[in-house]
Chain A
Amino acid sequence: MNDKELVHIADRVREALSQLRKSRYLECTRQLNLFAFRLQDLTCDSRKLGLAITRGWLAASEQCCTSIDRYLNEIPYAASKLQTLLDRRQKEVPTLSTMVEELKAVQAEFEDVAFNAEESALCVVTEPITLEDIYLGRFRILLDLDRLGELYQKVSYYIVAIDPHPAANDEAITHPHVSNEVLCEGDGSAAIRAALEEGRLSDFFSMVRSILSTYNPDSPYVSLANWEGVACYDCGYVMDDESSYSCSYCGNAVCDSCSRVCANCGEIVCGECVSRCEVCDRSLCPECAKTKCSECESVCCESCLSDGLCPECKEEKENNDEEHESETTDENTDTTTPQTTALG
Chain B
Amino acid sequence: MKLLFVNNDGGGFADYVNVHEGMTVEQFFKDQMPGRKPEDYLIRVNRQPVPRDHLLQENDRVTITPTKIEGAA
Name A's B-contacting residues (CB within 8 A): 101-102, 104-105, 108, 176-177, 179, 183-188, 190-195, 198, 200, 202-203, 206-207, 210-214, 216, 218-221
Q: Does B9 contact A (CB under 8 A)?
A: yes
Neighbouring B residues of A190 by C-beta, 8 Å: 10-12
User: Looking across the interface, which residue of chain A has its beta carbon closest to that of B63?
Assistant: A203
- Given A194-B11, A194-B13, verify A211-B70 contact (CB < 8 Å): yes
The 28 sampled A-B contact pairs (Cβ below 8 Å) are A101-B47, A102-B47, A104-B47, A105-B48, A108-B47, A176-B73, A177-B73, A184-B72, A185-B72, A186-B72, A187-B72, A190-B11, A191-B10, A194-B13, A195-B8, A198-B14, A200-B6, A203-B12, A203-B65, A206-B42, A207-B12, A210-B67, A211-B70, A212-B71, A214-B69, A218-B70, A219-B71, A219-B72
Size range of the chain B interface in the assembly: 20 to 34
| B67→A216 contact, CB < 8 A | no
* B interface SS class: loop
* A interface SS class: helix
| B71→A183 contact, CB < 8 A | yes
Distance in angstroms from B12 CB to nearest chain A CB is 3
Assembly CA distance A190 to B66 (angstroms) = 13
Q: Does B68 contact A (CB under 8 A)?
A: yes
Report the number of A-B residue pairs with Cβ-Cβ less than 8 Å: 94
| B47→A221 contact, CB < 8 A | no
Neighbouring B residues of A193 by C-beta, 8 Å: 12
| A203→B71 contact, CB < 8 A | no
Distance in angstroms from B57 CB to nearest chain A CB is 17
Assembly CA distance A207 to B65 (angstroms) = 7
Assembly CA distance A207 to B70 (angstroms) = 10
Assembly CA distance A187 to B9 (angstroms) = 9
Distance in angstroms from A287 CB to nearest chain B CB is 42
A-B residue pairs, 6 tightest by C-beta = A191-B12, A177-B71, A186-B72, A194-B12, A216-B70, A105-B47
Interface residues of B in 50-73 (CB under 8 A from A): 63, 65-73
| A211→B69 contact, CB < 8 A | yes
- Given A105-B47, A203-B65, A210-B66, verify A185-B71 contact (CB < 8 Å): yes
Neighbouring A residues of B71 by C-beta, 8 Å: 176-177, 183-188, 211-212, 214, 216, 219
Neighbouring B residues of A195 by C-beta, 8 Å: 8, 12
Distance in angstroms from A188 CB to nearest chain B CB is 4
Assembly CA distance A293 to B12 (angstroms) = 76
User: Looking across the interface, which residue of chain B has its beta carbon closest to that of A222?
Assistant: B73
Residues 1-44 of B, flagged 1 when their CB comes within 8 A of A and 0 if not, give 00000101111111000000000000000000000000000101
Assembly CA distance A213 to B72 (angstroms) = 13
| A210→B6 contact, CB < 8 A | no
Assembly CA distance A218 to B13 (angstroms) = 26
